[in-house]
Amino acid sequence: MVNTRVELCGIPLDNPIIPASGTFGYGHEFAQIYDINCLGTFSFKGTTAQERFGNPTPRIAEYDRGLLNAVGLQNPGVDKVIGEELPKLERCFSKPVMANVSGFSVEEYVTVCRKLDQCPQVGWLEVNISCPNVHGGGMSFGTDPAMAASVTAAVKAVTTKPVIMKLSPNVTDITAIARACADAGADALSLINTVLGMRIDLKRRRPLLANTTGGMSGPGIFPLAVRMVYQVSQAVDIPVVGMGGVTTAEDVLEMMLAGATAVEVGAANLVDPYACRDLVAELPNAMERYGIETLNDIIGGAH
C-alpha cells in the first residue's frame, strides 16, 4: 500500500492536497457537499484587518486554459473570521487549517497574523505578499526582496506558528524574493500566486474586467508554476508548497518532483467543487502507476 503522508513545517498531513486560498471559502461551505477531512488541510480565504467588499464587477473572465479574477480580497475582516467563521469550521473540520493573510501595510500584516496566531485551529499562517503596499506607492510587497523580507521579519516577531510566505510570479527573479524571505525567518514558501493578465471585450472595446487586469490561474499557467517551484526549491533550504494550474494527480506528482512538499489546488475548485476530493482519491492510483511507494521519497526528485 502506498504512503501519501507528508509533513509541512513539523505538522503531519494525511496527503499533500490543499485547496488554495480564495477557492474554498472558509471550508464549511464545501463541508456541505463532502467530508473535507479527507484533505491534507486547506488555506482559507484571504483575510485582512478590516472587512473588504472587493473590486467592482465583473470580477471574472475566462481564457482557453483557465480564468482571470480580480475579486479584490473580499472578506469579512479578521475579527469576524475568528468570531464567526472559525467556530463554523470547528464543527466540520478536525485538522489544523492554513490561515491566509493579506495586508496593505506591514502593520496590517502584523495585526492580522498576531490575532490568527492565537487561534488553536490555525496550524500555519500563509502570508500573501502580492498585495500593493499603500505606503510604498502601490508596489507589491512581493516584487522587492527588501519589502518581502520586512513583512516576513515583522510577522515572525509576533507569531509562534509556522509562517509560509506566498510569493508572486510577477517578478524577474523569484529566487531573489525567496531567499530574502528565507533569510528573514520564513518557515516555508508557497508559490505561485496568480499571473497578471487581461482580456478585452471586442464588442465594447473595453477590458472584460472592471479592474482592467486580473490574476491568471488554471492549467495554462502550470508549466510556469513548475519552473518556479523547481528554481525556488533549489534556492532555499525551507519547504515549498507548490501551486498553479494543478488539476490532476499527475500534476501533484510533477509538482513534488519539482520540489514541493505539498500542493495547493486553486481554479479547479471553481470549475468542479469535488476536484480536491477526487484528487485525494486518485493520488494513490497515480503513485502505483509510476512506482511510487512513499511521497516523501520524490520531493525534489527531478533535481
Q: How far apart are the first and last CA of the chain?
A: 26
Which range marks the domain in which residue 49 is found? 6-298
Domain annotation covers residue 203 = yes
Q: Do the domain assignments include residue 214?
A: yes
Question: pTM here?
Answer: 0.96
Task: Mention every residue, 6+ apart, whose C-beta is less than 8 A from residue 253.
Answer: 286, 287, 290, 292, 298
User: For position 209, which CATH number holds?
Assistant: 3.20.20.70
Q: What is the DSSP letter of 299?
A: T
Stated as kind and residue range, the H or E segment containing 174 is helix 174-183
- The pLDDT value given to residue 131: 77
* Residue 301 neighbours by CB under 8 Å, 6+ apart: 256, 257
131 catalytic per annotation: yes
Residue 146 lies in a domain: yes
Q: Cα–Cα distance between 79 and 85 in angstroms, integer?
A: 10
| Cα distances (angstroms) measured from residue 272 to each of 61, 193, 266, 279 | 17, 20, 11, 11
Spot the catalytic one: 38, 113, 119, 131: 131
The domain tally of the chain equals 1
CA distance 101 to 43: 10
Domain-embedded: residue 1:
no
Report if residue 303 sits inside a domain: no
d(CA 112, CA 107): 9
Confidence (pLDDT) at 133: 63
User: Would 175 be classed as within a structural domain?
Assistant: yes
Neighbours of 151 (CB within 10 A): 29
Helix residue ranges, H only, 48-144: 78-80, 86-90, 106-117
Residue 81 lies in a domain: yes
Calculate Rg over the CA atoms of the chain.
18
pLDDT at 140: 86
Distances (CA, A) of 5 to 86, 238, 262, 263: 25, 18, 10, 12
Region of 291 on the Ramachandran plot (φ > 0 left; ψ -120 to 50 alpha; else beta):
left
Which residue type is seen at 119? C
The C-alpha cell of 184 is what? 528573514
CB-facing half-sphere around the CA of 87: CA atoms within 13 A: 5
Which parts of the chain register pLDDT below 50? none
- Is 172 within a domain? yes
Contact 182, 163 (CB under 8 A): no
Name the strand (E) or helix (H) holding 176. helix 174-183
